[in-house]
Amino acid sequence: MTIDLIVKNNLCTGCGVCISEDQSHQAKMIWNNEGFLVPSLGKSSTQDKMIKVCPFAIQQKNEDELGELFLKLPETQYHDKIGYYYGLYAGYSKQFRETSSSGGIATYVFNALLEQKIVDYLFIVKEVDGQYAYQFFSNVEEITQISKTRYTPVTLEKLFQELSKVDGKVAVSGVACFVKAIRLKQMYDPVLKEKIAFIVGIICGGLKSKYYTDYLAQEAGCKNEYNYAQYRVKNKESYALDYKFSCIEKSDKKIHMVDMQSLGDMWGTGLFKSNACDFCDDVLTELADISLGDAWIDPYDKNGLGNSIIITRTKIAENLIKNGLNKNLLALDVMNTEKIILSQNGSFNHRHKGLAFRVMKVNKEGKLTPRKRNKHMVNQNLLFNFVQNSRLKTRQKSLDYWLETRNHLKFKIKMKPYLENLKFFTLWNHRLIKLKKILLSKKDA
Ligand SMILES: Cc1cc2nc3c(=O)[nH]c(=O)nc-3n(C[C@H](O)[C@H](O)[C@H](O)COP(=O)(O)OP(=O)(O)OC[C@H]3O[C@@H](n4cnc5c(N)ncnc54)[C@H](O)[C@@H]3O)c2cc1C
Ligand code: SF4
Ligand code: SF4
């Protein structure tokens, strides 16, 4: 497999790590027509070297194999959906919750890493000129500048270009495929294991095209160019899912806002999502030092300020959390594996249960997919497969129709039949599940 093939088969999420392996230095990250970042290769780009660190390469080591290399210790536990871990928690940071996307644990961890001098720099996603990009950061006084998750493509391209110039250790935040790419770099170059001393894994339900933000901005009433997109404006009087999107129109500096609930399901439908994400089975960022997500589970989802789920996978991470509890900086409950999995139920259903069907379908069409872990390749019933098929179509159509219309109203009209189809199959699939449960309980009685 080559980087060319990864890009042609839409299997790239733009991590940018392969760029650092191009010995010709001709490769660089560019925007593709669907609004994702992908590598553009030069004539002499060393694709044989570059592919070695691509998380989507067919020949790549999987998350279990890499987990064994990086995280397996006598004291870590293993769960086949969670990976290697020390502790499982849910809750929030007392200091950073209000100014963060969820429970503010990412900001708490990064702040502690700098304060305790475990690292000297962070490489995180932060605003620059009203847009978002990865950058180095070390100003602990201004730590809340790094808070909040940004649902738009970003790339680690600069990390390995600039890492050698940085004096000291670095902590990085990343979604699962980005974390995997970093681990692959560290596997080939153990010096990088020392240099990148900590990875905060951002649990991720899918990468959105940059056109997702354009769509949200139009829905918010913004007619022209905008910046300072805010994806999670919380409502502390309400529940966690009740948040808004906002942006600032450049011409008159007016703030525009839209209630995300009014737009329907933007995640479960696969709208504006990268094709590569349909072949990603790492739901909980299995290779990070600590994995952080939203606690989409009762009672945590009832609080508008948000709560995080936390999976500590290394001793440093576990100590940071335990310290926070001892110093009364964190309000956390200990979780069990079932609750952690339940908090990401939708993601597990799509990413694990639907995987075998999607791989089979796409391979039949002559397109390539990455090699996936056998344990997640389980055949499902016909109705469930109809849901997958419908979601695959909805995802692709959302990108096609946005490119065609570039208008939120026309886009919604065009997408309506696909979204209704998906809703229909999802509804009947849920009814079938319910019926099966009733029949099973009667059989057991
Ligand atoms: C694309 C994407 C999809 C997500 N999908 C899910 C999901 O399906 N389920 C779920 O539970 N949670 C999901 N999240 C994570 C969730 O939105 C929260 O970000 C997470 O729970 C951390 O919350 P926090 O309050 O601790 O973070 P904060 O304290 O607000 O800090 C956020 C941290 O994330 C970093 N960051 C921001 N944007 C990005 C980015 N694009 N890539 C890498 N790092 C970034 C920031 O630099 C900052 O350090 C997703 C996040 C992203 C970026
Ligand atoms: S996923 Fe990352 S490593 Fe693979 S081709 Fe894309 S940018 Fe390169
Ligand atoms: S869903 Fe998986 S492949 Fe897609 S961006 Fe998230 S971690 Fe990467």
d(CA 60, CA 164): 26
Looking at residue 9, its pLDDT comes to 96
The span from the CA of 312 to the CA of 329, in Å, is 17
Q: Is the peptide bond before 299 cis (omega within 30 degrees of 0)?
A: yes
| 15 pocket-lining for ligand 3 (C-beta < 6 Å) | no
pLDDT at position 289 is 98
Token pair in block for residue 47: 């694709």
pLDDT of residue 197: 98
221 Cα to the center of ligand 2, angstroms: 35
Average pLDDT for residues 170-190, to the nearest whole number?
97
Q: What does the pLDDT read at residue 20?
A: 97
CA 54–ligand 2 middle distance (angstroms): 5
Q: How far is CA 11 from CA 184, 290, 391, in A?
A: 17, 26, 17
Q: DSSP string covering 242-309, please? A: --EEEEEETTT--EEEEEGGGG--SSTT-TTB-GGGGG---TT-TTSSEEEEE--STTGGG-TT--EE
201 Cα to the center of ligand 1, angstroms? 8
CA 114 vs CA 119, 121, 197: distances in Å = 6, 7, 12
For residue 92, report the distance from its CA to the centre of ligand 2, in Å.
33
Give CA–CA dist 231/213, Å, rounded.
9
Tokens representing 272? Answer: 């504006």
pLDDT at 242: 86
Residue 443 pLDDT more than 80?
Answer: no
Scanning 122-209, the segments in alpha helix (DSSP H) are 157-162, 176-188, 191-195
Q: What is the mean pLDDT of the segment spanning 128-134?
A: 94
Beta strands of 109-159 (E only): which ranges? 121-128, 131-137
What is the enclosing helix (H) or strand (E) of 414? helix 408-444
Asked whether 76 and 317 are in contact (CB, 8 A), the reply is no
Q: Is residue 150 lining ligand 1, measured as CB closer than 6 Å?
A: yes
What's the confidence (pLDDT) of residue 428?
93
DSSP labels, 211-248: HHHHHHHHHTT--S-EEEEEEEE--TTS-TT--EEEEE
Question: How far apart are alpha carbons 147 and 97 in whole angstroms?
Answer: 10
The answer, yes or no, to whether residue 313 has pLDDT greater than 90, is yes
**Is the predicted pLDDT of residue 445 greater than 80, yes or no?**
no
Looking at all shown ligands, the one closest to residue 149's CA atom is 1
User: What DSSP designation does 51 have?
Assistant: G
* Mean pLDDT across 397-405: 98
Could you read off the pLDDT of 248-265 as tens digits, one per residue?
999 999 999 999 999 999
pLDDT at 437: 86
CB-based pocket (< 6 A), ligand 2 = 3, 6, 12-18, 39, 53-56, 181
Beta bridge pairs of residue 173: 200
Protein residue whose Cα sits closest to atom 13 of ligand 1: 204
Instruction: Provide the pLDDT confidence category of residue 319 given band limits of 50, 70 and 90.
Output: very high
pLDDT at 444 over 80: no
Rounded (5°) CA angle 247-251-257? 20
- Substitution candidate for ligand 3 out of 274, 348, 351, 358 with most atoms within 8 A of CB: 274
- Cite the DSSP H helix spans in 369-407: 382-405
Q: Residue 433: what pLDDT? A: 87
Pair type for strands 77-79 and 131-137: unpaired
So what's the pLDDT on residue 59? 86
pLDDT, one tens digit per residue, over 320-350 is: 999 999 999 999 999 999 999 999 999 999 9
Question: What would the mean pLDDT of 383-395 be, rounded to a whole number?
Answer: 96
Residue bearing the CA closest to ligand 3, atom 1: 206
In sign, the C-alpha dihedral spanning 310, 311, 315, 316 is: negative
